Amino acid sequence: MSIYTGIEGQNILIVSSDPANPVEGQIWYNTTTNLLKGAALSTSGTWATGGNMSNGRYGIAGAGIQTATLGFGGYGPVPGTTNSNKTESYNGTSWTTSPANLNQARYSFKGIGTQTAALGAGGYFFPGGNQSYVESYNGSAWTAQTALPAARGGAGSAGTSNTAGIFFGGSDAGNLVTTSSQSWNGSAWTATPSMNTARQNIMGTGTQTAALAASGLTPPANYRTSTESYNGTSWTTVPGTLNTGRQSAGGGGTQSLAYICGGDTGSPTAFLTATELWNGTSWTTNPTGLTQKRAQLASNLGTQTAGITFGGYNPPSSPITLVSTETFTGPGVLVTKTITTS
């Protein structure tokens, strides 16, 4: 006959409401709901609807984190669609329109930095074509900076401040895709080694010396699945490929933990909600995607566990130009789960 007096364990906590700050592995019984619950790390991500922007735009640039975001430029809203110079800031709940406008309205460009220290480089001005214009933001005003060595639209970007970033790929003044890459030190541009694959409308993220590039279009119709990483010295094509090739996608994170969302594969009916997660080696399709199909949405924002995207374009839906914001809670976040017998 077994003797159990030497076995040690923990009693299950009995509470009338869930603990405010549970720890991983903690289990409790809620007498109000009559449910057994526990705290565990999430294994996938979820999207939630955030506050609407004041001005719907696509091809919009962004900078910052989920609770302190900057959106600027773009094309829209409709009706009366036009190149936009508008700037808006997001506090995690709502958007506020800033009186500080870009000096050069444009779209199809990327930003780097934070809500109060951002940089926007290149872009497209309709009908003038791709631009080399560069501006920095200090939280209250935009200031013209040293222009890119050549016009660039649809490039990827990486960088955590407006004084240290890298812009790569995109299309040039003649709308030809390029592999060229340039780094920014706060006052000047320096040519860096070229990417391995020419592409435009790239999702880029990371830092100046640890950047990640994924997706993009190599005309006429090669929607890229390949991924490249930059270590401050060279670009390397890594084995991990996207499950769905796309262009004009959103995303963010680091070189080792990133996410990508939305984008398109060519036709108005092929706009995506699909979200994928990068672990430094491979891309995995997240079980749930964006709540709304969209392309030409903001990217290079937030982290894999706390992402954000906004704006974009979704024909033939009405409205075509989107004002909505979506926030992402990725895997590895502590969540409360109900424990069942199934």
User: For the segment 274-327, what is each residue's pLDDT rounded down to a tens digit?
Assistant: 999 999 999 999 999 999 999 999 999 999 999 999 999 988 776 789 999 999
CA distance between the termini of the chain = 32
The whole-number pLDDT of residue 341 equals 73
Six-digit token string for 59: 């091809």
The pLDDT score that the predictor gives to residue 10 is 64
CA distance 255 to 232: 12
The rounded Cα 341 to chain-centroid distance in angstroms is 38
d(CA 276, CA 251) in angstroms, rounded, equals: 9
Give pLDDT, residue 4.
Answer: 45
Q: Which residue has the tokens 């959103």?
A: 250
Indicate the SS3 state at residue 160: strand
d(CA 304, CA 258) in angstroms, rounded, equals 5
Which architecture, in CATH terms, is 46-331?
A: 6 Propeller (2.120)
Give the SS3 label for residue 211: strand
Query: What one-letter code names the amino acid at 334?
Result: L
* Contact of 205 with 158, CB cutoff 8 Å: yes
Listed in order, the ranges of the chain carrying CATH 2.120.10.80 are: 46-331
Closest CA to 265 of 245, 251, 284, 250: 245
How many angstroms separate the CA atoms of 84 and 87, rounded? 9
Question: Which of 247, 334, 342, 305 has the alpha carbon at shortest distance from 65?
Answer: 305
CA distance 45 to 19: 22
Which residue ranges in the chain fall short of pLDDT 50?
1, 4, 7
Token pair belonging to 202 = 């790239």
